[in-house]
Amino acid sequence: MSETVPGLQHRTVLLEEAVDALAIEGERANGVFVDGTFGRGGHSRRILERLGPGGRLIAFDKDPQAIAVAQSLMLTDSRFEVIHNSFATISDALASRGISAVDGVLLDLGISSPQVDDAARGFSFRADGPLDMRMDTTRGMSAAEWLATANGEVIEKVVRDYGEERFAFQVAKAIVAGRAVQPISTTRQLAEIVARAVKTREKGKDPATRTFQAVRIFINQELEELEIGLRGAYDRLAVHGRMAVISFHSLEDRIVKQFLASLARAEQPDRRLPIRAADLPQPKMKLLSKVKPSAAEVAANPRARSAVMRVAERLPPAGESA
């Protein structure tokens, strides 16, 4: 589905597949669900279409522009509420609303097309704009402010760890040298500095791609918030509740994969201890599926090509019937 937002388009990735994964049907249609990344509301609107009259949807987003869209939706549907904060706050946010458990959680990670395409946000090197990169423009340090003060070793580590850039040392050195001449305040400045430092690049990929990804992830603490949010979502998930997470790069997907796998794998007790079979540790989640966009979706929306969705279901505690 394509949504028009102030001249910019956002096409929701894995729209039907993600909402299908939440299994919003029967009694569950009147349950409580969470969209941890509202974006421009593609998934949220589809969830609301499937919810019953007694259902409830809680959405989160850090982006003020996304919140403005969500607030207009709140005015037309009393089952919907949006929270201007990261989904990392999910556990406390739900507790403060008296919600002890939810029937499904959807996380669509990364950045939306309107954020990428709006030069004023500073996420992309394709158009010149202020070097901001904050998901939430109302708080925190911009990319330009961070690059003006961080030492070379820290910049190198961020570019290497979050961008998986093998020329991280050269990029960091070039940034430090460049800012000594003039402040790095625009996306074009940063892209040109990186292009001179990165001597070779994969075919069809801009030399600045990995560095921009790295700085964005660091500025927004995306991986740290993902780890906290996954744990919070699991803690609030009801028995047989579903969790569906869409990732767009290997760093995110690795965290999601390892987190779900750890819960789907029962801890092995010390074989020397006398433990009854009924008391053996049991898996806490069941891995259901790994889904990628179809060839047709990728053809219609090239940005979907790197997406992967992992779906899991919470299992009942040992000794309780399914």
Residue numbering of the annotated binding site for S-adenosyl-L-methionine: 41-43, 61, 87, 108, 115
Q: What DSSP state is assigned to residue 130? A: B
Return all residues near 50 (Cβ < 8 A) that are at least 6 apart: 19, 24, 25, 29
Return all residues near 284 (Cβ < 8 A) that are at least 6 apart: 234, 263, 264, 314, 315
Tokens of 55: 């259902």
Cα separation, 108 vs 36, in Å, equals 7
Return all residues near 318 (Cβ < 8 A) that are at least 6 apart: 278, 279, 280, 281, 282
The b/e string for 182-217 (b: 16+ C-beta within 10 A; e otherwise) is eebbbbbbbbbbbbebbeeeeeeebbbbbbbbbbbb
Cα separation, 13 vs 157, in Å, equals 31
Let me know: does 255 contact 172? Beta carbons within 8 Å. no
The CA distances from residue 57 to 24, 33, 49, 80, 209, in Å, are 12, 5, 11, 5, 35
Q: Can you give the C-alpha Rg of the chain in angstroms?
A: 21
Locus of tokens 């998986």: 164
Cα separation, 85 vs 37, in Å, equals 10
Give the residue numbers of the binding site: 41-43, 61, 87, 108, 115
Helix (H, G, I), strand (E, B) or coil at 97: coil
